[in-house]
């Protein structure tokens, strides 16, 4: 009995640990990566983490059974971050999203960053080191890792020369996963979309950093200008995003923004009267119903100066069902009008027949008492 209790305790303990598993996703936004590749990767991530069949990606290294190791469930925590140039990669500080409603929370996590190539370099090793640093500082000893990249490593900057801002950052990279400071990765399963491309989604089911020690010293903070970036829907004035539903689901991110920032969303209908201005929003998403038409939508900061705003353009067309309602109304009106017209017509006919004499009634006076028919002509 005692042995059974011990086994049960270990099982429950292991279950709790698994329920609190951490999953980090690193997205390469250097310009050597194409936007179409990141769009495909975004879709594949959602499929892999939810256990859905792969629509475009294929397994380049590993097996189909490996994918089950990356499926998320309620209780898991997901952090996602962009990497590329030095300033982008040094800014890695993912916000952990606890998965409760898998579809909704996963969508929130995936769309919490901008999947747009913007940078000129790829600090690949530094990105992995920054995630290990984040995990170590937050008492996370093991985590699952997903790396989305074309694997073009520019860790040493222009002309192959080191340009790290301080010794701490240099040591963070150079000591990462060395014999004196090991990080145990449980192998990678790799997915591709094109056999000839370097663009890959790499998954590790376990990264163990229990033997990893952060380097000493302090780091120099590189502060970029805070900027809001609309993730979806993202359209231009000449090419607005077409929505076939009245419901607009807008989401955005704010890079290098201070804590406590609040947002304003201004919606203006072009050539129409619809105007909406939402202020002091704490969330980075908004859902609102719009009429048919074209709109410009601008997201800006409500309470912090110096934050760059972003604008998107959409066109709302609910799919052409409105004419059915108009036609139904016209038909109903026409049908009602015909009914009352026909009713009055019948009443008149009946009244005419009621006032006519019965030719078969012997008490009825003759219609004409003349003996000739001249009055008929």
> Which pLDDT does position 85 carry in this prediction?
85
> Which pLDDT does position 156 carry in this prediction?
66
Q: Count Cβ atoms within 10 A of the Cβ of residue 377 and give its class: 0-12 exposed, 13-18 middle, 19 or more buried.
A: exposed
**Mean pLDDT score across all residues of the chain:** 80
- Stretch 349-361: mean pLDDT, rounded? 54
> Which pLDDT does position 377 carry in this prediction?
29
129-162 pLDDT tens trace: 999 999 999 999 999 999 999 987 776 655 666 6
183-193 pLDDT tens trace: 888 888 999 99
> Which pLDDT does position 42 carry in this prediction?
94
> Which pLDDT does position 262 carry in this prediction?
87
258-286 pLDDT tens trace: 667 889 999 999 988 899 999 999 889 99
> CA nearest 207: which of 339, 26, 81?
26
Q: How far is CA 283 from CA 109, 254, 262, 295, in A?
A: 13, 11, 8, 22
More confident residue, 277 or 218: 277
- Kindly indicate the confidence band of residue 4, based on its pLDDT and cuts at 50, 70 and 90: very low
Write down the domain spans for the chain: 21-208, 227-316
- Kindly indicate the confidence band of residue 352, based on its pLDDT and cuts at 50, 70 and 90: low
89-125 pLDDT tens trace: 988 989 898 999 988 889 888 988 889 898 888 889 9
- Stretch 214-231: mean pLDDT, rounded? 71
More confident residue, 342 or 355: 342
User: Is residue 83 within 8 Å of residue 122, measured between CB atoms?
Assistant: yes
> Which pLDDT does position 143 carry in this prediction?
95
- Kindly indicate the confidence band of residue 349, based on its pLDDT and cuts at 50, 70 and 90: low
Which residues have CB under 8 Å from 287's CB, separation 6+?
247, 248, 249, 250
CA 68 to the chain's CA centroid: 23
- Stretch 330-347: mean pLDDT, rounded? 65
pLDDT > 60? residue 222: no
The CATH architecture to which 227-316 belongs is Sandwich (2.60)
CA 316 to the chain's CA centroid: 18
294-315 pLDDT tens trace: 999 999 988 776 688 899 999 9
- What is the reported pTM? 0.58
Among the residue ranges 159-173, 340-354, 355-369, the one predicted with the least confidence is 355-369
Alpha helices in 305-359 (DSSP H): 322-355
Which helix (H) or strand (E) covers residue 77, if one does? strand 77-83
> Which pLDDT does position 128 carry in this prediction?
93
- Number of other CB atoms surrounding residue 97 within 10 Å: 19
Which residues have CB under 8 Å from 253's CB, separation 6+?
112, 113, 114, 228, 229, 231, 284
pLDDT > 60? residue 356: no
51-99 pLDDT tens trace: 999 999 999 999 999 999 999 989 999 999 999 988 889 889 898 989 9
- Kindly indicate the confidence band of residue 164, based on its pLDDT and cuts at 50, 70 and 90: confident
User: Is residue 82 within 8 Å of residue 95, measured between CB atoms?
Assistant: no
Which two three-digit tokens encode residue 149?
Answer: 């990249």
């Amino acid at each position: 009995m005692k042995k059974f209790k011990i086994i049960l305790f270990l099982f429950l303990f292991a279950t709790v640990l698994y329920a609190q598993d951490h999953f980090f996703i690193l997205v390469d936004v250097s310009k050597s990566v194409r936007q179409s590749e990141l769009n495909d990767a975004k879709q594949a991530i959602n499929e892999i983490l939810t256990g859905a069949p792969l629509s475009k990606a294929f397994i380049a290294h590993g097996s189909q059974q490996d994918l089950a190791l990356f499926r998320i469930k309620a209780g898991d925590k997901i952090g996602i971050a962009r990497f590329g140039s030095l300033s982008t990669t040094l800014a890695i500080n993912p916000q952990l999203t606890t998965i409760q409603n898998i579809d909704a929370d996963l969508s929130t996590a995936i769309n919490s960053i901008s999947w747009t190539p913007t940078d000129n370099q790829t600090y690949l090793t530094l990105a992995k080191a920054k995630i290990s640093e984040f995990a170590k500082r937050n008492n996370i000893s093991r985590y699952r890792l997903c790396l989305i990249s074309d694997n073009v490593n520019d860790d040493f900057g222009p002309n192959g020369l080191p340009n790290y801002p301080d010794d701490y950052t240099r040591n963070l990279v150079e000591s990462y996963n060395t014999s004196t400071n090991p990080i145990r990765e449980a192998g990678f399963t790799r997915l591709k979309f094109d056999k000839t491309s370097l663009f890959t989604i790499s998954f590790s089911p376990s990264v163990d950093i229990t033997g990893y020690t952060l380097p000493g010293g302090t780091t120099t903070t590189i502060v970029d200008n805070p900027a809001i970036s609309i993730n979806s829907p993202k359209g231009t004035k000449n090419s607005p995003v077409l929505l076939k539903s009245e419901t607009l689901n807008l989401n955005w991110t704010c890079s290098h923004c201070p804590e406590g920032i609040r947002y304003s969303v201004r919606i203006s209908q072009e050539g129409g009267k619809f105007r909406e201005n939402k202020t002091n929003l704490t969330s980075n998403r908004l859902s609102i119903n719009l009429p048919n038409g074209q709109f410009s939508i601008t997201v800006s900061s409500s309470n912090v100066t110096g934050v760059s705003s972003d604008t998107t353009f959409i066109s709302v067309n609910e799919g052409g069902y409105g004419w059915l309602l108009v036609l139904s109304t016209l038909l109903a009106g026409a049908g009602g009008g015909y009914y009352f017209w026909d009713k009055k017509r019948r009443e008149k006919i009946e009244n005419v027949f009621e006032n006519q004499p019965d030719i078969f009634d012997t008490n009825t006076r003759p219609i004409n008492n003349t003996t000739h028919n001249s009055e008929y002509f």
